[in-house]
Amino acid sequence: MKTQQSIPTTKVERSAKFVKTGFQIGGNYIKHYSKKLFNPEMDREQLNEDNATDIYKSLSELKGSALKIAQMLSMDKNILPKSYVDKFTQSQYNAPPLSGPLIVRTFTKNFGKTPEQIYDTFNLTSSNAASIGQVHQATLDGKKLAIKIQYPGVGDSISSDLKLVKPFAFRLLGMSERELNIYIKEVEERLIEETDYELEVRRSIEFSDACKNLDHIVFPKYYPQLSGKRIITMDWIEGMHLKEFLQTNPSQALKNKIGQALWDFYNFQQHELRAVHADPHPGNFMITPDENLGVIDFGCIKELPNDFYYPFFSLISTDVINDKGKTIDAFRKLDMIHHDDTEEQVEFYYKSYKEMISLFAKPYTSKVFDFSKPEFFEQLYAYGEKISKIPEFKQARGVKHFIYVNRTNFGLYQILNELNATVNTDTYEPTLNR
């Protein structure tokens, strides 16, 4: 893959890149409508394909929060046309890596030394490049290490990037401005944390220690003394990403074992730690040669405060959903039903959200769940499709915590679906006794 020799770091350079992409998209629309004059039956597939290609190219060169949003949107298969999902999914596994001189400059800026002066060996060719940083292999004292290096300018450009992403998001998502602002504010807070590598090292040590007794889960060891604000040093975990693993045609028993480990990992955190690894895209996991699940990234952590945890999990894991009064009360606490709603609105949102929660909660309400069943996902997508066309849902509803909690659980469901896994879902259950 071709390396990237430079990265736009100033606000002006990054803004210019967005403007250029905006012009390209405008050109794509003109091209599309010109062709449509001669062929009224033509659909928007080629337009979506062209736009997705231009937007992804631009975002992948900008790196950082811009590319991270593409990654998040690609996980929400219901929100975007297929061509965007296909293109943006690339950001889960690879983006154009940075060139050697840029890597060396990052090291000398952070440590006052080149990589060769710190490690016994250091491979200048990255093994994996994603949205916020890229990973290189190194050795020290006979140990194989993974070195995560943050792209220059990423941490300093989050707020300005998200402002620049807004017009694209408006066009692609059709959200109201208030809803988009809530979404972007929450994303901004998590991304600011995610670009603080010193925080990530502390959390990684804390979370891997808390989860160390879970079956079939392994974590790398982290080295704070060889890490800094923009660089993380950890053990190299051998293994395959999900895509490669599935190409080896693993047995159903092994897929179930990996799926169970993943389910336990997430639900142990949600219910025992009240904070969760909120970035469940396949690039953050490895299946090791001894058939365990390696977790290699704790950059994005979402804490679950009590005023969200109790009403939300009471809806999906108890019989509260069968009691209309209690359900409406929980919906009010979660800001899904507003205090100034009319009776008709209360009834409308109660019915709509009850249907949504009942669907979402299916894995939680049965002791064993088969994620290979397409009908569960078809129902989820059909529901999403339905509400995307209802004007009432263009307005913001629900507390901000939903953004990452939904993303986490749907991301988990999707990986389990790719594994075709059947898992025991009653291993770590919500703890609702205060």
Q: Are residues 399 and 255 in the same domain?
A: yes
Closest alpha carbon to 413 in 353, 357, 361, 358: 361
CA of residue 336 relative to chain centroid, distance: 23
The answer to whether residues 39 and 187 belong to one domain is: yes
133-140 and 121-122: which strand pairing? Answer: antiparallel
Q: Are 376 and 365 in contact (CB under 8 A)?
A: no
- 273 and 412 belong to one structural domain: yes
The total number of structural domains in the chain stands at 2
Q: Please check whether residues 245 and 340 belong to one and the same domain.
A: yes
Strands 128-129 and 143-150: unpaired
pLDDT for position 54: 55
Helix (H, G, I), strand (E, B) or coil at 314: helix
Structural domain includes residue 198: no
Judgement on whether residues 271 and 178 belong to the same structural domain of the protein: no
Q: Which two tokens stand for residue 22?
A: 């905006």
Tell me which residue of 6, 284, 266, 236 sits closest to 137, measured CA to CA: 236
DSSP assignment of 62-104: H-HHHHHHHHHHHH-TTTS-HHHHHHHHHHHH--PPBPHHHHH
Alpha carbon distance 339, 342 (integer Å): 9
Do 284 and 175 fall within a single domain? no
Range of the domain at 406: 239-434
* Three-state secondary-structure class, residue 205: helix
Is 199 inside any structural domain?
A: no
Domain assignment of residue 222, yes or no: no
pLDDT value for 3: 53
Q: What is the token pair recorded at 341?
A: 């709603």
- Which amino acid makes up residue 119? Y
DSSP letters along 102-129, please?
HHHHHHHHHHSS-HHHHSSEE-SS-SEE
Q: Tokens for 3?
A: 């390396």
Which one, of 256, 254, 279, 296, lies nearest residue 74 by Cα?
A: 279
Q: Which residue has the tokens 């208030």?
A: 178
- 165 and 24: one domain? yes
User: Which of 167, 192, 217 lies at the terminal end of a domain, its last residue?
Assistant: 192
- 164 domain-assigned: yes
358 within a domain of the structure (yes/no):
yes
Partners of 303 in the beta sheet? 275
Environment class of residue 432 by beta-carbon count within 10 Å: exposed (0-12), middle (13-18) or buried (19+)? middle
Predicted pLDDT at 284: 87
In a domain, 211, yes or no: no
* CA–CA distance, 17 with 63 (Å, rounded to integer): 12
And the tokens for 170?
């408006």
Do 282 and 430 lie in one domain? The reply is yes
Residues 293 and 389 in one domain: yes
- The alpha-carbon radius of gyration of the chain (Å, integer) is 22
Question: Which pLDDT score, from 0 to 100, does residue 21 have?
Answer: 44
Residues 247 and 185 in one domain: no
Are 318 and 188 within one domain?
Answer: no
Residues 178 and 263 in one domain: no
Q: What is the pLDDT of residue 287?
A: 97
What contacts 121, CB < 8 A, 6 or more positions away? 138, 139
Q: What are phi and psi of 66, to 5 degrees?
A: -60, -50
Give 140's strand partners.
Answer: 143
Looking at the domain assignment, is residue 349 inside a domain? yes
pLDDT at residue 310, rounded to an integer: 93
Q: For every one of its 434 residues, what pLDDT tens digit does the chain have, with 9 covering 90 and above? A: 445 455 555 555 544 544 454 444 444 444 444 444 445 454 555 545 555 555 555 555 555 455 555 545 444 444 444 544 454 444 444 455 667 888 888 899 889 999 999 999 999 988 877 667 889 999 999 999 999 998 777 777 677 767 766 665 555 555 566 666 776 777 778 878 888 999 999 999 999 999 999 999 999 999 999 999 889 999 999 999 998 999 999 999 999 999 999 999 999 999 999 999 988 878 889 999 999 999 988 888 889 999 999 999 999 877 888 999 999 999 999 999 998 999 999 999 999 999 988 988 999 888 999 999 889 988 887 887 777 677 777 666 788 888 788 878 888 998 999 999 999 999 998 887 65
CA distance 354 to 334: 13
| End residue of a domain, out of 192, 221, 249 | 192
In the chain, what is the straight-line distance between the N-terminal and C-terminal CA atoms, in Å?
Answer: 53
> Among all chains, which residue has been given the structure tokens 């988009």?
180
Domain annotation covers residue 102:
no
In the block, which residue shows the tokens 């896994």?
Answer: 421
Asked if 403 contacts 304 with a C-beta cutoff of 8 angstroms, the reply is: no
